[in-house]
Chains A and B, each alone.
Chain A
């Protein structure tokens, strides 16, 4: 049993706000994220800084986070104090990006208790912080990230140039340092072969649609802005919002079409999927995602039962290999991971008809 104060495992045992337990879950737009990248003026970027310089930056950022209203109550870990599984689990929970460099001296991470705000220190840039909210609410995500930015900017001097804006280690992030993205579930567009057209529409408005998982497992996709320079933050948010709205509308129309023309097939697929999820003993990662996709579609069309959206969102994170190992409290090999994943799914789908205790 994991105690609430036992490090990363303790934090991740609690639901993230993006699961949508407190409302806001959406059947097409799973989560909205806004990430900002910032660097301290007059200091080498983390990739070029020595250990002493990195430790100094971490100390400054940590102090600023403590004094900022938003992250004052957040959990903080120096990256080098975390195990590889801890670090991977934070990425599976989408609180940091994978390859954030948490293994290097001087790195660190701050996460607010609700897991809607998180900040990585000394990854590719001195600071990379994000706001992650359930459903389709890029404006709320931006509002939170922007306010945190103001608080941090008042405490730390950011590297800034009048022409090039906020300076980042990767020139692709220069300017606003902003990346707005939405995680989308698009099974009907995939089934009806209309996905590429939706991607082109997104591209026309300056956004990009990309597979969320390898091989687009689970019909999960991500829409995000392509550039960070030459527009205001709100213009970028609006552009991604517009693209997401267009894609979501197409998805909903395609779902209706499926409900009319392939009703029995869609219903059958959803029930078969939930039967496997409630009884399998070995479950691969992609297989799990694809089965959950069929269940989500069935639920959205009212053709099948199953766990509510927040529970499905939680499964999305908790069936990651690092989450499963944290839960088990030990390292697992690939086979054991698939077995643990099946166990978790069985519990969720076996219990789908019964109400869940909050936070369990």
Chain B
């Protein structure tokens, strides 16, 4: 069977995507599968997120096509390059293509503003994180007890005690 993507090579990888409750199967050659990141299950997700992200990225590339040809002054990456590869050339590209990237990011991520950790590493995330870990462990401990998985529960209890001591220290 020929590859569904390039229609040139023999397909070697069958790829199933679950989208809207239905599964869609595609047959890809190794080159196309690799360039789509399909060879590793944990990475492959990006392209199989129910089609949502890949659709958004496709749409993002189409949007880029509508824009007048522009270039990043720092790396020379053109909108056309981005459209072809889906990749930007350098950090400065984000500023150079801000007018088109802004709405695209909203489309891809459902949001346009970074709320995560700041660039400078000095911050107090660790304490918050340890608190969250205790909470999560406690929840899993409760679940294990509920399911009468006592061996697991004992292990989780040890881990929780260990973590609480670590936090207190």
Query: Are A and B bound to each other?
Result: yes
Which A residues lie at the B interface, using CB under 8 A? 23, 33, 35, 39, 41-45, 47-48, 91, 94, 97-99, 124, 136, 139-140, 142-143, 146-147, 149-151, 153-154, 158-167, 169-172, 174-176, 178-179, 181, 183, 195-197, 199-200, 203, 208-216, 220, 222, 224, 226-235, 238, 241, 252
Q: Which residues of A contact B60 (CB under 8 A)?
A: 171
Q: Which residues of B contact A45 (CB under 8 A)?
A: 87-91
B71 at the interface (CB under 8 A from A): no
Given A150-B121, A164-B94, A176-B116, does the pair A44, B111 have CB atoms closer than 8 Å?
A: no
**14 additional contacts, CB 8 Å, given A146-B117, A210-B17?**
A94-B40, A99-B34, A99-B35, A143-B133, A164-B112, A167-B94, A171-B88, A172-B53, A179-B45, A197-B21, A208-B53, A215-B25, A222-B42, A235-B115
User: By CB atoms of chain A within 10 A, which of B35, B48, B87 has the most?
Assistant: B87
Q: Is A215 a contact of B14 with CB atoms below 8 Å? A: yes
> Can you list 13 pairs linking A and B with CB atoms under 8 Å apart?
A44-B89, A45-B88, A97-B42, A140-B133, A146-B117, A153-B119, A164-B112, A172-B56, A203-B50, A209-B18, A214-B13, A226-B110, A230-B111
**A197, B18: Cα distance in complex, Å:** 10
Q: Which of B63-96 contact A (CB under 8 A)?
A: 74-75, 77, 85-91, 94-95
Choose among B44, B91, B136 the residue that contacts A222 (Cβ–Cβ < 8 A).
B44
**A151, B126: Cα distance in complex, Å:** 13
Q: Which residues of B contact A215 (CB under 8 A)?
A: 14-16, 25
Q: Which residues of B contact A44 (CB under 8 A)?
A: 74-75, 89-90
Q: Is B109 a contact of A195 with CB atoms below 8 Å? A: no
How many A-B contacts at CB < 8 Å in the complex? 220
Q: Which of B39-55 contact A (CB under 8 A)?
A: 39-46, 48-50, 52-53
Q: Which 3 A-B pairs have the closest CB atoms?
A: A230-B111, A165-B114, A98-B39
User: By CB atoms of chain A within 10 A, which of B45, B52, B110, B128 has the most?
Assistant: B45
Q: Give, as a whole number of angstroms, the nearest-CB distance from B129 to chain A.
A: 6
**A149, B123: Cα distance in complex, Å:** 12
**A212, B43: Cα distance in complex, Å:** 9
**A232, B41: Cα distance in complex, Å:** 25
Given A48-B89, A210-B48, A215-B25, does the pair A153, B121 have CB atoms closer than 8 Å?
A: yes
Q: Is B121 a contact of A170 with CB atoms below 8 Å? A: no
Interface of A is mostly: mixed
A46, closest chain B residue (CB): B87
Q: Give, as a whole number of angstroms, the nearest-CB distance from A207 to chain B.
A: 9
Q: Which residues of A contact B136 (CB under 8 A)?
A: 139, 241
**A165, B94: Cα distance in complex, Å:** 11
**A80, B95: Cα distance in complex, Å:** 33
Q: Is A170 a contact of B87 with CB atoms below 8 Å? A: yes
